[in-house]
Amino acid sequence: MNILVLYQSPWWNAAAYYTFNVVNALKQMGHNIFFVGKHDTPLAKEISIFEPNITNIDLFTYSPITLPKYYKQIKKVILENQINVVIPVSAPGHIFIGLIKKYSIKSLPILKICLDNVPPVNNFFNRQLHNKLTDYFLFPGNATKMRYDQIFRIEKFKILHAPLDLEVFTKFSDKENKGDTFGTPEDKILVSFIGRFSPEKGIFFLLDIVKEVKQKTDKLFFLFSGQEGQIKHTDVIKKVEENGLQNFVKIIDKVDDVRDLISISDIGLLSSRYSEFICRIAMEFMALKIPVVVPELNVIPEVVEDGKTGFIYKLDDAKKAAQYLIELAENKELRRLFGENGFERINRLYSLEKFEKELVEILAQIV
């Protein structure tokens, strides 16, 4: 089939990761991929390895002047390439495709991938777009589906969690242990946070957890790794010093290969305040048999099995998070068991093969 994907984001984020895996799976099935979005965005660059036909449109800058122009360009792509299915991801692409279906190509099948952190806008056109013009919806988790249920009557849908290439992690775990190259104490239980330094990731809440741990034990050491976002490393270091946590916390930049850090960790820690509608980092910890302590947020309880592959704490409960960390730190056998359970769960539920199989079933329902 000839399939058109519309997506745009200036970042390589969870939505880009999910969309890349959709494109990759479709290519593996032998489909031809056409893409609409800015050609210099991270996702467009990544999917260029598949040599898709890319129509360079900035989907987020349409106006009363450019909207008719973009409408014609996208419609031309659909007609000239005999597109069988259109997959809009970001909202602007969905709007353009909805307009084209309503006013020009009424039989055009639309598969909407819903990767939004917040509920979509509730207005007349959006209700028409979702309730009448879109044929099928794909959600990365039940948490996202529930947001849409607040507004729309979505009947044809599939919950399809993001996949993980487990082979990338099993091959890495078979390598000889490199040892700790990050300068952390060898006699401590290493707890690692890996994520962008931004408010949504709860960087400063991490320090609340560390303070709670410090009151009970000095056996744990925390390594925070991530690219600077709205929060600078120096801002966090300042807070670390103000709270007297210098002997418990180390801040480093984003690592080139996340497996290097995960593989030397004893426990993975998340502290997100919002987002996490895929939670790939938790999956990556589990793929390397590392137990996790995570907040009860969005898709996380769907990915992490509480009391089996890790522990889930209430969003603002630093004391409970600290308690779980200490429990895991003091019980090596529990860490091993959670790690084994996590690996098995990823292999069973989030493999690339399962992801591809379910996409085949979805396409069969709408074409």
Comparing C-alpha atoms, which of 282, 301, 258, 257 is closest to residue 201?
282
Dump pLDDT digits (tens) for 243-267.
Answer: 999 999 999 999 999 999 999 999 9
* Banded pLDDT at 45 (limits 50, 70, 90): very high
Return the pLDDT at 151.
92
Return the pLDDT at 172.
87
pTM across the whole model:
0.92
Helix (H, G, I), strand (E, B) or coil at 103: helix
Same domain, 296 and 258: yes
Same domain, 358 and 264: no
What is the tally of helices (H) and strands (E) in the chain? 15, 13
Same domain, 150 and 171: no
Q: Which two tokens stand for residue 275?
A: 């987002």
26-47 mean pLDDT: 95
Same domain, 18 and 94: yes
Structural domain containing residue 362: 2-163+351-366
Query: What is the distance, to the nearest Å, from the Cα of residue 314 to the centroid of all Cα atoms in its chain?
Result: 20
Q: Percent of the chain at pLDDT above 70?
A: 98
Q: Quick check: 195 pLDDT over 70? A: yes
Same domain, 20 and 107: yes
CA distance 349 to 365: 22
110-116 mean pLDDT: 93
Dump pLDDT digits (tens) for 294-310.
Answer: 999 999 999 999 999 99
Dump pLDDT digits (tens) for 67-96.
Answer: 999 999 999 999 999 999 999 998 999 999
CA distance 51 to 38: 15
* Banded pLDDT at 16 (limits 50, 70, 90): very high
Cβ contacts of 343 within 8 Å, gap of 6 or more: 286, 287, 288, 289
CA distance 84 to 320: 51
Same domain, 151 and 37: yes
Q: Which residues pair with 113 in a beta bridge?
A: 138
141: Cα within 13 Å, side-chain hemisphere = 25
Q: CATH number of the domain at 120, please.
A: 3.40.50.2000
Same domain, 62 and 209: no
Q: What are phi and psi of 281, to 5 degrees?
A: -65, -35
**Which of 57-61, 102-106, 241-245 is predicted least confidently?**
57-61
Q: Quick check: 225 pLDDT over 90? A: yes
Same domain, 342 and 355: no
CA distance 115 to 91: 10
* Banded pLDDT at 327 (limits 50, 70, 90): very high
CA distance 79 to 156: 26
Q: Quick check: 159 pLDDT over 60? A: yes
Dump pLDDT digits (tens) for 312-322.
Answer: 999 999 999 99
The 53-55 sheet, strands edge to edge: 53-55, 32-36, 2-6, 85-88
Same domain, 140 and 30: yes
CA angle 158, 161, 165 (to 5 degrees): 135
Same domain, 338 and 303: yes
Q: Quick check: 178 pLDDT over 70? A: no
Same domain, 159 and 187: no
Same domain, 298 and 183: yes
The count of domains in the chain is: 2
